[in-house]
Amino acid sequence: MKRALWVVAYLLFLFFSCSLSLAAPRTLRVDYYHTGNSHEEWFSLDRVVLEPLEWPGNLNKTIDESQMGNYRFEVRERASGKLVYSRGFNSVFGEWKTTEEALHGNRTFSESLRFPSPDAPVDVSLQERAGSGVHPGPTEAWKEVWKTLVDPKDKFVDRSRPPSPGALLEMQKMGDPATKVDLLVLGDGYRAAERGKFEKDARRFMEALFSTPPFREHQKDFNVWGLCPAAEESGVSRPSSGIYRRSPVGAAYDTFGTERYVLTTENRALRDVASFAPYEFIEILVNGQTYGGGGIFNQYATVAIDNLWAGYVGVHEFGHQFAGLADEYYTSDVAYLPPATKTEPWEPNVTALLDRADLKWKDLVAAGTPVPTPWNQEEFDRFEREIQRQRKELRAAGKPEAEIDELFRKQRAKEDAMLGSEKYVGKVGAFEGANYEAKGYYRPEVDCIMFTRHRTFCGVCRRAIERVIGMYAG
């Protein structure tokens, strides 16, 4: 009799431990192709993948209520129509379609949607903000551009294990991935013999990130993981310098013809590598010295880690991917064509100020700060034009990186002096010049890490970052 009770107790223990382990689902991923040009888009399914690891997110925070991103996706139970997961994001295609090239031809980009693996079939709906890019319209209206049915039990769900990118490094573990922001630092262009260098580089990036408010105050909300798949050669592609590499996740300079812009279009490779870490955000460290980086909201950011300005670039680009922050600068060259009409951007840190009384960060504007806020824009722009001219000249002449560093040093010192003596420095207002346009867009403070190589985020950017931390941590 006593033995029978023990058997029952043991069976109960087994039952409960199994149901506990069932509580954390694996990560399901839909890989698809996004094809089109500046006025048309098509979507097609590539594959559905069951990733090797459990879902790293908080199952109580599956719905995205932030209204951020040019795109978003919704996952609904097929049987009941219940919304089980949603996220907003930007894509490389979304940027490319605003370039000159997209007026004349089609291109295809690989993209992915990741969500907790469901028990039963779901509908995955991809939606585009009607007001984004080349489709002006009301800012908050979304239109469905693609829908696909995903049955997690389908035999074609790819359950195979991708080739290993090497051991997962635990750079900083503050707790269960479900209750932390999980950041993957991923090395690209490192040979196997450079793995030790990658670890040091990753530490350097973390120091820069966690010494910058508000990340500094929230370091305990982050787990940081490291992966570094071995490259055959050091470095990544830089076509404008005649450098070509097949690096493991395909990061490369010269994106859309802008020499400093580093992105990857090898999304399939990137996702297979990243699937070996619990992650929500990715910072790709490019093993190289030439100034550059990039960041796409809710995709990844990149930084050339051996450059003198890597600390600034890494954090600035992380701001793009993490909190959907817009560029507040407007004097550097970009490949994007200006929008046909100015609508209010969804990004938290720039505004078209179409309604002065309804400034979206008005609760942070102190009494006595005028909106729009005056500043010496003419003097600043004159100086920046001269710096851009010298920068182009140095690049065109193939001068060593040290000369660019020196130019940027001079630039920062003068910017600090000019902006630091502004009447409304450190105050939140609405300063004209932002979002790649000298006129018609406004930024929250006279200076910010999204505007110059400044050391801190403005008050509006800090708040936007803290909101996103709250979507993942706790």
Binding site for Zn ion (CB under 5 A): 349, 448, 450, 458, 461
Q: Which of 447, 474, 441 is nearest to 461 (CA)?
A: 447
Nearer to Zn ion, 209 or 450 (CB): 450
Minimum CB separation of residue 203 from Zn ion in Å reads 26
| d(C-alpha 202, C-alpha 242), whole Å | 27
Cα three-residue angle 250-256-259, rounded to 5 degrees: 80
Nearer to Zn ion, 187 or 444 (CB): 444
Q: Please, which residue, 275 or 349, has the CB nearer to Zn ion?
A: 349
Task: Please state the closest distance from residue 360 (CB atom) to Zn ion, in A.
Answer: 13
User: Residue type at 405?
Assistant: D
Residue pair 457/465 in contact by the 8 Å Cβ criterion:
yes
β partners of residue 283 = 185, 301
**CA 363, CA 358: separation in Å to the nearest integer?**
10
C-beta closer to Zn ion: residue 48 or 461: 461
The residue among 124 and 315 lying less far from Zn ion, judged by its C-beta, is 315
- Give how far Cα 127 sits from Cα of 72, 109, 143, 352, 424, Å: 5, 17, 5, 24, 40
**Calpha distance 440→431 (Å, rounded):** 10
Instruction: Give the nearest distance from C-beta 458 to Zn ion in angstroms.
Output: 3
CB of 107 to Zn ion, least distance (A): 31
Q: Please state the closest distance from residue 131 (CB atom) to Zn ion, in A.
A: 22
**What kind and span of H or E run contains 223?**
strand 222-227
Nearer to Zn ion, 184 or 448 (CB): 448
Paired tokens of 156? 């074609």
Cβ 462 to Zn ion shortest distance, Å = 8
Least distance in angstroms from the C-beta of 456 to Zn ion: 9
Nearest to 320 by CA among 155, 464, 131, 474: 464
Q: Print the SS3 string covering 189-206.
A: CCEHHHHHHHHHHHHHHH
Which lies closer to Zn ion via its Cβ, residue 102 or residue 448? 448
Which contiguous run of DSSP H or E holds residue 382?
A: helix 377-396
CB 464 to Zn ion: min, Å: 8
- Minimum distance, C-beta of residue 421 to Zn ion, in the bound complex (Å): 19
| H helices present in 421-458, as ranges | none
Segments in 251-376 forming alpha helices (H): 267-274, 310-323
What is the separation, in whole angstroms, between the first and last Cα of the chain?
A: 46
Q: CB 445 → Zn ion: shortest distance, Å?
A: 6
- Class of residue 401 by CB neighbours under 10 A (exposed 0-12, middle 13-18, buried 19+): middle
Nearer to Zn ion, 271 or 316 (CB): 316
**Sign, CA torsion 175/178/180/182:** positive
Question: Which is closer to Zn ion, CB of 191 or CB of 455?
Answer: 455
Q: Which amino acid is at 194?
A: E
What is the C-alpha to C-alpha distance for residues 128 and 94, in angstroms, rounded to an integer?
10
Q: Beta-carbon neighbour count of residue 23 at 10 Å?
A: 9
Nearer to Zn ion, 76 or 463 (CB): 463
